[in-house]
Structures are given as C-alpha cells and as structure tokens.
Amino acid sequence: MIMKKNGTVWTIKYALLNIAYFAAFCTIHAYAAVYLLAHGFSNTEVGILLAVANISSSFLQPLIAGLIDKPNPLTNKNFILASVIFISLGSLLLLFVHDNKPVIFVIFAAIYMIQFTYMPVMTALCFEYRKAGCNIFYGLARGLGSAGFALTSAWIGGMVESRGVYILPVVTIIAMIASAVVILAFRKPKEGPAAEAESDSKTKGKKAHNNLKEFISIYPAFSLFIISSTCFFFAHNMINDFMIQIIRELGGAEKELGFSNFLQAMLELPAMALIGIVVRKISSKTLLLISGTAFFVKIILLVFATNLGWMYISQSFQFLAYAVFIPATAIYVNDTMEELDQVKGQAFITTSITIGGVFSNLVSGKIIDTFGVRTALTAGSVVCAIGVVIAFIAMRLPAYRAEKS
C-alpha cells in the first residue's frame, strides 16, 4: 500500500498552483475585452478573437490529453511548465506591441488558448500525484484558486483604471513565474519497488482509448454527459458574458457587476473545500445531477427576476452549480475511468465547457440585440433544461463498459 505523504505540504503546493493559475485567468480571460478594446479592437473583432481561441482550445485539449496519456516525456508537469513559459513570453511580447493589431490578435489568441488548454492538465496532475501517495486536498486547493480569482478581480479593476491595461500582462507574467516555481517543486516521491509494482499492476494490460468511437463505447455515461455539460455552460456563459446587460435591465450598473462577480467566486471556496467530505455521503454521479439542476435554477430565476435582490439569489446558486460541477467531474473521471484515459476525460470536460461558451457567444449577443435580455435568458433556460434531462438519462447508463475479448 502506498504511504500517504504530508497532506498539508502537498495541498499548499497545489493550492498555490491554482491561485497563480486563476490570478492569470482573471487577467487573460475576465479582462480580455477590456485589454483588446483599449488596443483598438471592435466588439466584433473581440468576439472573433475569443471564438477562434476557444475553438482552437477545444480541438487542442483532447489532442494534448491523448499524448500525455501515452508513455512519453510529455507528462502533466512538463506540459504545465511549457505552457507557463509560453504564456510568460507571449505576455512579455504584448508589452512591446502597441499598435499592430494583427500581431496582438495572434499573440493574445495563443495565450488565451494555451491557458485554457492546460486547465484539465492541472486537474489530472492532482490525481496523478494523489495516486503516488501525495495526500492533496483537491477541493480546498481548487476553492482557493477561485478565491485567488475573486481577489485579483477586485484589485485589478482599480489598477487598470489608474495605470492602464498594460498592468494586465505584467500581472500575468508574475503569476506565470509563480506557477513555474511551484510546478518545479512538484517532485513525485520515490516509493520503492513495492509501490512501483502496485502502480504498474493498475495499468498492466491496459491501454489508452484514443479513438473517439472506442472511448464512447467504453464510457457511455460520461460520453452522453458531455452533451449535458455543454448545455449547462451555454447557460452559464450567457449569464457571465452578458451579466452587465442583465444588471442594467434590473436597475443596476458596474458596481453591482463587480459585487456579483466577487460573490460568485467567493461562494466557490466553501463548496469546493467541502466536496471531499460530501462525496463520502453523496456519489459524484448524484452531485453532477444536483449541479446540473442548480445551473437550471440559477438561469430560470433570472428569467422572472424583477429586481437586483432576485439577481443575487440567482447568483448564490453558484454554490451548487459551478462550484460543485468542477470538483465533482474531476472525482467522477478519477473514479470511473482507466488511469490511461483520465487526462483525456478531464480534457473532454473542459472542451464541453469551451464549446458551450463558444455557442453562447455566437448566439446570445444576437438574441439580446434583436429580442432583448429576457428572450435570451429564456432560450438559455430551455437549453439548460435539455441538458438536465440528458444528464439524468446519461447517469442511468453504465459508467464503464468492459471491452469484448
């Protein structure tokens, strides 16, 4: 039996990695439009850039996961290190490019894409090291990452107002340097021949299912659930991307937007921190169904909201929606998939989130411009409801279907 290593030390390391990641996620993703508009991009051009980056990421994630799942030097740790170096260099270049929009387009899209691509690899890294005996408290560490996003978001707005958008790549570089330092401290403990034999026995005779048709056949419940998660994040991204229009419809402004984002992110910390305890009583499969239902309740409340109070009640469902979804999917993948398929499983989850966001970006703005906010939210509710129905059907299927010999 592999002996568990100091959980506090490993949880701190993984928490720091998450905090640095989500601090940069704030500067790259949450403030993407702010940065690009300041460099002369139109709203349409911003939308095109983000769509290109998201679509590219959705194709790259499973490809990278398939490579990592195969025995080769491209490990979770090495890919994260390569990603943070790439993002650091790209952000440094942005500091010296001011008026060349095509160059900014390429660099920013690449940075945005790469950061999204290594998100599932971060999750896979945690479970890889847990299997090696490093007792990482995943939920707490991931929740602290959300807290890092919340605090960065609360601070960076004032900094951008006072110092300009050039502070954004600077903060990104600092966060990436911190990530590099932390990831280099991830050294898998040597457990000796007995532990190595135990680890080898789990993968002996196993293979990675890199063929999509084969993967769907082996994991029917997960494969159908991916469609559900795309529907959930169509609704989720509609709310997040167009929250300012929703708030203005209810009589608020940018101040309420800032509080709303801070509220959502801070609610994620306790939910994610408690997930390790909750999952002992409630299965990850049931938690995913609870999460999907909460996504639906969150958006349907906004359809009928008449004041900002109802908007805040809706946002409070982040505690059961996104905050449960992220760790529950990680646990579900870890519990139901062969070890050689787990990075791929995490990548498919992130890909579904990305695709949901892309479709939301392409559709929601047009609906709002043509028919208004309420119609867009109603459409999002219908899509999310379809996702909930599909999720309940998916979780009645086998989680794992053994290959025919």
- Rounded Cα distance between 274 and 159, Å, is 33
**Residue 36 and residue 159 in contact, taking contact as beta carbons nearer than 8 Å:** no
Strands (E), 277-348: none
Instruction: State the pLDDT at residue 193.
Output: 46
The angle at the Cα of 255, spanning 243 to 158, to the nearest 5 degrees, equals: 110
**Residue 58 and residue 351 in contact, taking contact as beta carbons nearer than 8 Å:** yes
Residue 133 φ/ψ region, left for φ over 0, alpha for ψ in the -120 to 50 degree band, beta for the rest = left
pLDDT along the chain (405 residues), means of 10: 64 96 90 84 78 85 80 85 97 91 95 90 88 87 88 81 89 97 89 49 60 87 95 91 80 73 83 88 95 97 93 92 92 88 85 86 80 92 98 92 60
- Rounded Cα distance between 133 and 137, Å, is 12
Please state, as a whole number, how many other Cβ atoms lie within 10 Å of the Cβ of residue 297: 16
Instruction: State the pLDDT at residue 202.
Output: 54
Pick the CATH number of 211-405 from 3.40.50.1820, 1.20.1250.20, 3.40.50.2300, 3.40.50.10330: 1.20.1250.20
Give me the residue spans of the domains in the chain: 1-204, 211-405
Which CATH number is 1-204 given?
1.20.1250.20
What is the distance, to the nearest Å, from the Cα of residue 186 to the centroid of all Cα atoms in its chain? 21
Q: How many DSSP H helices and E strands does the chain contain?
A: 18, 0
Angle between helices 254-278 and 308-316 (to 10 degrees): 30
Instruction: State the pLDDT at residue 192.
Output: 46
**Residue 231 and residue 392 in contact, taking contact as beta carbons nearer than 8 Å:** no
Q: How far is CA 224 from CA 9, 181, 211, 308, 397, in A?
A: 37, 39, 16, 36, 9
Instruction: Say if 1-204 and 211-405 have the same CATH topology.
Output: yes
HEC string of 213-264 equals: HHHHHHCHHHHHHHHHHHHHHHHHHHHHHCHHHHHHHCCCCHHHHHHHHHHH
Instruction: State the pLDDT at residue 404.
Output: 52
- Rounded Cα distance between 213 and 288, Å, is 24
